[in-house]
Amino acid sequence: MTERGVRVRQREETRRALLGESRRLFTERGYGAVSLAEIVGAAGVTKGALYHHFDGKEELFRAVLEDVQQEVGRRVAEAAGAHEDSWDQLVFGCREFLAATTAPGIQRIMLVDGPAVLGWTAWRAMDEASSARHLTEALTVLVDEGVVPAQPVAPLAHLLSGAMNEAALWLATSTDPADLEHTTAALDRMLDALRAA
């Protein structure tokens, strides 16, 4: 491997270490309780190395949040992709979104600290760029197939996305394990109401 290749690999390893340790610490204690010194110590790098990759703690958190959102997106896509029928893809994708967001690390980073650290507008923009786009695509297919009555898709996607995000935020504060099952059942009933007669 060339010297340049070694440096590129080292930079990638440093970035992965920073993201991995940040995610672990943010999950365990929350954004506000974690210092940059703790992060670089856990990752085994210097503050200079951190600042080579990120402008500061908030930018590092944003990168961690993007990773978490991509992970949730992959889980939703896999759950949806396991089904051939477009309707089943929507239903199982939405169910997986709720299930994925009950994982403690995902809850803390994506639902609790995300809006608080980045602000509601920035957090919504990130959500829009990830999961909301896939939801819009799925609903567009269903409208085109006539499974969902013809209508503008954007309002429907925003309403459904908002309902699921609100349910996920509520589940993040819930202490009753049965709440996920009840919320999933309510989601199924809400989705069924969208179908053409």
Contacts of 49 (CB under 8 A, 6+ apart): 14, 18, 40
pLDDT at 124: 85
Residue of 77, 58, 184, 65 lying closest to 124 (CA atoms)? 65
pLDDT at 7: 78
* Burial status of residue 112 (CB atoms within 10 A of its CB: 0-12, 13-18, 19 or more): middle
pLDDT at 38: 96
Residues of the chain with pLDDT under 70: 1
Same domain assignment for residues 100 and 155 = yes
pLDDT at 187: 96
Same domain assignment for residues 50 and 70 = no
Same domain assignment for residues 83 and 165 = yes
pLDDT at 163: 93
pLDDT at 173: 85
171: tokens are 């589940």
CA dist., res. 193 & res. 197, Å (int): 9
pLDDT at 105: 86
pLDDT at 117: 95
Same domain assignment for residues 67 and 44 = no
**N- to C-terminal Cα distance for the chain?**
63
Domain count, the chain: 2
- Which alpha helices (DSSP H) does the chain contain, by range? 3-29, 36-43, 47-53, 57-81, 86-100, 104-106, 114-118, 120-127, 133-145, 153-173, 178-192
Same domain assignment for residues 182 and 116 = yes
Same domain assignment for residues 41 and 112 = no
pLDDT at 119: 93
97: tokens are 């979104």
Same domain assignment for residues 10 and 25 = yes
pLDDT at 59: 96
The range of the structural domain enclosing residue 15 comes to 1-54
Predicted TM-score (pTM) of the model is: 0.87
148: tokens are 């969902």
Rg (CA), the chain: 19
Same domain assignment for residues 190 and 111 = yes
pLDDT at 141: 97
Same domain assignment for residues 69 and 136 = yes
